[in-house]
């Protein structure tokens, strides 16, 4: 008899109702229930459809530029004096981040489902840009909701979306950031459910989104796994990725979950410091609850009200996290840690100067944790970091921190 301890993770999670253990599920208003079942059916049908897969593979190769390379950061490795540091170069993707892996997949699905209008929420604007990009290409109407605070700090991406033909709607409610954009996108979807496809940008939302977005992003980990074995002859010792909603992290982690010797670190935004309460680290400092369609760790008060988050990086500024990360935390398969705004900013400069790669502020959180971890490891060990995006969009924020404007 098979030992139950040996039950394969991939066969177990999620269950048929989108539950990752006690997390996940379908917590939406009745009006959307039909739509999420419709999406689930379409996704189940096409995910094994060779024609769909072929079209997606072609787009990922010719339009996005995959596979993205892994890069041995020799200077950083030398300076930190520990593990060999490899970067998975999602920053080299068309549109500048991992987000496009997912929007390609969802847009092809939207097309097959006969939807004519696409909506999305965005924080840093990377998902909005990636969505506007695929919508432009498929000739679909595109509306992107963005917290009014993020519209200001990511002005360049707002303009990019507009150039691509998307309508960007600033959301003034609540904390005027990513969670409010998600609320507003859900409200739009309820209202226009017949013709509209909602492209969620991370592994959040009701089932099937967390599983579907993970599948689309898992190309990161599948490629990286074989690339790193090719380069080093073995599996990496540790993986590091930043966590906003958790899509780039789960994309990297998922293909390694059954490789038990690979240690995984998800890095949340500690903002001004966990102890100040001004952060966006629900896995490090939150409690389980229900928001945006699933049960997961949340930043909330004792009455179940969602509290305002803070991170220097708009893409991490979210009070929840994908339900699969909640499970991975509880079962101890992944470790969740956090770094502050200041540490991330320092890592931003470190990578820029040592390797000539300007990382996104989100990805800088992963770099910052690597700067702590690598020196504790030996030179035979290999550390693989997901460089989820490039920093072009963050020029204003970084310059402003240095007292400059342009």
Ligand X SMILES: Cc1ncc(COP(=O)(O)O)c(C=O)c1O
Active site residues: 99, 121, 388
The sign of the CA dihedral 127, 131, 137, 143 is: negative
Q: Quick one: which of 247, 241, 27, 20 has its CA closest to 121?
A: 247
153 binds, among ligand X, another protein, none (CB under 5 to 8 A by kind): none
Give whichever of 174 and 277 is closer to another protein, judged by the CB atom.
174
Which span (90-98, 257-265, 267-275, 305-313) binds another protein, by CB under 8 A? 305-313
Residue 4 contacts another protein per CB under 8 A:
no
Q: Which stretch binds ligand X (CB under 6 A): 12-20, 38-46, 343-351, 356-364?
A: 356-364
Asked if 266 touches ligand X (CB under 6 A), the answer is no
Q: Which residue has the tokens 């690979």?
A: 262
Site for ligand X in 87-106 (CB under 6 A): 97, 99
Instruction: Candidates 315, 319, 320, 323: give the one binding ligand X (CB under 6 A).
Output: 315
How far apart (Å, rounded) are the C-alpha atoms in residues 362 and 388? 8
State the DSSP code for 389: B
Strand duo 19-20 + 23-27: pairing: antiparallel
- Listed ranges 26-34, 43-51, 118-126, 192-200: which one lies at the site for ligand X (CB under 6 A): 118-126
The SS3 call for residue 88 is: strand
Report what 228 binds from another protein, ligand X, none; CB cut-off 5-8 Å by kind.
none
Rounded to whole angstroms, how far apart are CA atoms 23 and 54?
Answer: 32
Cβ-based nearer residue to ligand X, 24 or 389:
389
In the bound state with ligand X, the residue whose beta carbon lies nearer, of 39 and 242, is: 242
The 3-state DSSP class for residue 383 equals: strand
User: Any idea what DSSP says for residue 264?
Assistant: E
Q: Does 174 bind another protein (CB under 8 A)?
A: yes
Contact call for residue 292 and another protein (CB under 8 A)? yes
Is 193 a binding residue for another protein by CB under 8 A? The answer is yes
Question: Backbone phi, then psi, for 88, in 5-degree steps?
Answer: -85, 120
The count of chain residues that interact with another protein, using the rule CB under 8 A, is 39
194 binding another protein? (CB under 8 A): yes
Q: Detail the DSSP E strand segments found in 299-361.
A: 335-340
- Which CB atom, from 368 or from 377, has the smaller least distance to ligand X? 368
Is the distance from CB of 120 to CB of 127 less than 8 angstroms? Answer: yes
One of 8, 29, 61, 392 touching another protein (CB under 8 A): 29
Binding residue (CB under 8 A) for another protein from 8, 12, 41, 173: 173
Q: Which of 25, 244, 255, 282 is the binder for ligand X (CB under 6 A)?
A: 244
On the 0-12 / 13-18 / 19+ scale of CB atoms within 10 A, 58 is exposed
- Integer Cα distance of 322 and 316 in angstroms: 12
Q: Find the binding residues for ligand X in span 29-48 (CB under 6 A).
A: none
Cβ atoms of 121 and 178 closer than 8 Å? yes
Among ligand X, another protein, none, residue 32 binds (CB under 5-8 Å by kind): another protein
Per CB under 8 A, 273 contacts another protein: no
In the complex with another protein, which residue's Cβ is closer, 265 or 297?
297
Which residues between 126 and 155 bind ligand X (CB under 6 A)?
A: 126-127
User: Which is nearer to ligand X, 42 or 130 (by Cβ)?
Assistant: 130
Q: Dig out the tokens for 317 from the structure.
A: 């500024």
d(CA 120, CA 172): 16
Residue 346: how many other CB atoms lie within 10 Å: 16
CB atoms within 10 A of CB 147: 29
CA 49 to chain centre: 25
Q: How far is the CB of 23 from ligand X (least distance, A)?
A: 16
Is there a contact between 374 and 289 (Cβ–Cβ < 8 Å)? no
Candidates 183, 247, 363, 386: give the one binding another protein (CB under 8 A): 183
CA gap 309, 283 in Å, rounded: 13
Query: Which residues bind to another protein, rule: CB under 8 A?
Result: 17, 25-35, 173-174, 179-180, 183, 186-187, 190-194, 288-293, 295, 298, 300, 302-307
Query: Which residues bind to ligand X, rule: CB under 6 A?
Result: 97, 99, 123-124, 126-127, 202, 242-249, 315-316, 360, 362-363, 388-389
């Amino acid at each position: 008899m098979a030992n139950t301890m040996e039950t394969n993770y991939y066969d177990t999670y999620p269950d048929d109702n989108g539950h990752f253990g006690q997390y996940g599920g379908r917590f939406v208003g009745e009006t959307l229930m039909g739509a999420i079942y419709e999406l689930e059916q379409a996704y189940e049908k096409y995910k094994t459809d060779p024609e769909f897969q072929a079209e997606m593979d072609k787009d990922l190769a010719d339009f996005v530029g995959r596979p993205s390379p892994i890069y041995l950061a020799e200077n950083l490795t030398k300076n930190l004096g520990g593990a060999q540091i490899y970067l998975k170069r999602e920053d080299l993707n068309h549109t500048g981040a991992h987000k496009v892996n997912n929007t390609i997949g969802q847009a092809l699905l939207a097309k097959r489902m006969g939807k004519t209008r696409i909506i999305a929420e965005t924080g840093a604007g990377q998902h909005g840009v990636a969505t506007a990009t695929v919508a432009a290409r498929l000739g679909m109407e595109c509306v992107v909701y963005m917290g009014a605070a993020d519209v200001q700090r990511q002005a360049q991406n707002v303009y990019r979306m507009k150039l691509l033909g998307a309508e960007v709607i600033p959301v003034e409610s609540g904390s005027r950031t990513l969670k409010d954009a998600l609320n507003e996108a859900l409200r739009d979807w309820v209202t226009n459910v017949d013709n509209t496809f909602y492209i969620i940008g991370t592994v959040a939302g009701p089932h099937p989104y967390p599983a579907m977005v993970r599948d689309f992003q898992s190309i990161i980990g599948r490629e990286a796994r074989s690339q790193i074995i090719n380069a080093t002859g073995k599996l990496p010792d540790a993986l590091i990725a930043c966590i906003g909603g958790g899509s780039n992290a789960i994309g990297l982690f998922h293909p390694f979950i059954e490789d038990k010797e690979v240690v995984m670190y998800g890095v949340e935004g500690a903002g001004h410091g966990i102890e100040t309460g001004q952060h966006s680290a629900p896995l490090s400092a939150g409690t389980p609850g229900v928001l945006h369609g699933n049960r997961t760790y949340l930043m909330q008060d004792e009455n179940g009200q969602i509290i305002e988050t803070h991170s220097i990086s708009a893409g991490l500024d979210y009070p929840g996290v994908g339900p699969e990360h909640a499970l991975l935390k509880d079962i101890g398969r992944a470790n969740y840690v956090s770094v502050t705004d200041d540490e991330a900013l320092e890592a931003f400069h470190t990578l820029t100067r040592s390797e000539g790669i300007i990382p996104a502020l989100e990805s800088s959180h992963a770099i910052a944790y690597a700067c702590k971890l690598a020196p504790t490891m030996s030179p035979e060990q290999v550390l693989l970091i997901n460089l989820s995006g490039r920093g072009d969009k963050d020029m204003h924020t970084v310059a402003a921190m240095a007292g400059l404007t342009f």
